[in-house]
Amino acid sequence: MDFSSKLLENAVEEMSQLPGIGKRTALRLVLHLLKQPENQTEKLVSALHNMRSDVKFCKKCFNISDTDICEICANPKREENVVCVVEDIRDVMAIEATSQYKGLYHVLGGKISPIDGIGPGDLQIHSLVERVKSGEVKELIFALSSTMEGDTTNFYIYKQIEGFAVETSTIARGIAVGGELEYADEVTLGRSIVNRIPFEKSLKNS
């Protein structure tokens, strides 16, 4: 692309660093901002800046939060000894949208994936095992997507907590095959959480 302005080119270059945004789309977005009042761009920049500098991770479940302990963990109405293991905040949002789940979460921050160089130490697995060891967890629900990485991660955690007094279950298989958890529709996802099955049973089936 040949730009008549270095300033424009820089803005397009930075915008196109975002996933799914090619140079053409970046140019369209940047030109859109140029047409808007200047304070629109300022609001966008300060929202991004504030998010980046002030956002926290809940000290208990590692969900993204504005406070040290997130609203879900701090809510006395939630069942605090049921913990659902998910990959990231999008899964928490998807499960919350079903209104079918009253327990807490543990957000791993990804899945074990040797190809991408992501090992157990890069994820919030140690903190999860510590939660189980402390005796605060009665049931652990695995809700990672049914991919090879998801299965590997589930099994790794399962092995780590073997021998502790905790029940393990998994959301019904078949709901998210070939797709991520966040794409399952609310009714299906809600039903699969309510009708979760013992984790050992899911191993025998696969």
Stretch that binds Zn ion, among 7-15, 21-29, 51-59, 197-205 (CB under 5 A): 51-59
Residue from 15, 61, 89, 140 in contact with Zn ion (CB under 5 A): 61
- Taking the least distance from each CB to Zn ion, the nearer of 73 and 112 is 73
Q: Which of 189, 169, 198 is nearest to 96 (CA)?
A: 189
Please tell me the count of residues contacting Zn ion according to CB under 5 A: 6
Stretch that binds Zn ion, among 29-37, 58-66, 134-142, 181-189 (CB under 5 A): 58-66
Asked if residue 86 binds Zn ion (CB under 5 A), the reply is: no
* Residue 192 main-chain phi, psi, to 5 deg: -70, -25
| 73 binds Zn ion per the rule CB under 5 A | yes
Q: How far is the CB of 175 from Zn ion (least distance, A)?
A: 24
Rounded CA gap, 176 and 188, in Å?
10
Distances (CA, A) of 64 to 13, 30, 96, 116: 28, 28, 14, 23
**Measured from the CB of residue 62, what is the shortest distance to Zn ion in angstroms?**
7
What's the sign of the alpha-carbon dihedral 111, 114, 119, 125?
positive
Bridge partners of 141? Answer: 84, 169
Residue 58 interacts with Zn ion (CB under 5 A): yes or no? yes
CA distance linking residue 145 with residue 110, whole number of Å = 11
Question: Which residue of 11, 12, 27, 70 would you call a contact of Zn ion, by CB under 5 A?
Answer: 70
**CB of 112 within 8 A of CB of 149?**
yes
Stretch in the footprint of Zn ion (CB under 5 A) among 71-79, 94-102, 144-152, 155-163? 71-79
73 versus 175: smaller Cβ distance to Zn ion: 73
Residue 166 interacting with Zn ion (CB under 5 A): no
Q: How far is CA 1 from CA 5, 24, 28, 114, in A?
A: 11, 9, 13, 37
Under rule CB under 5 A, residue 137 binds Zn ion = no
Interface stretch with Zn ion, choices 27-35, 59-67, 88-96, 124-132 (CB under 5 A): 59-67
For the residues of 40-65, what is the DSSP string, one character each?
HHHHHHHHHHHHHHH-EE-TTT--EE
Residues in contact with Zn ion by the rule CB under 5 A: 58, 60-61, 63, 70, 73
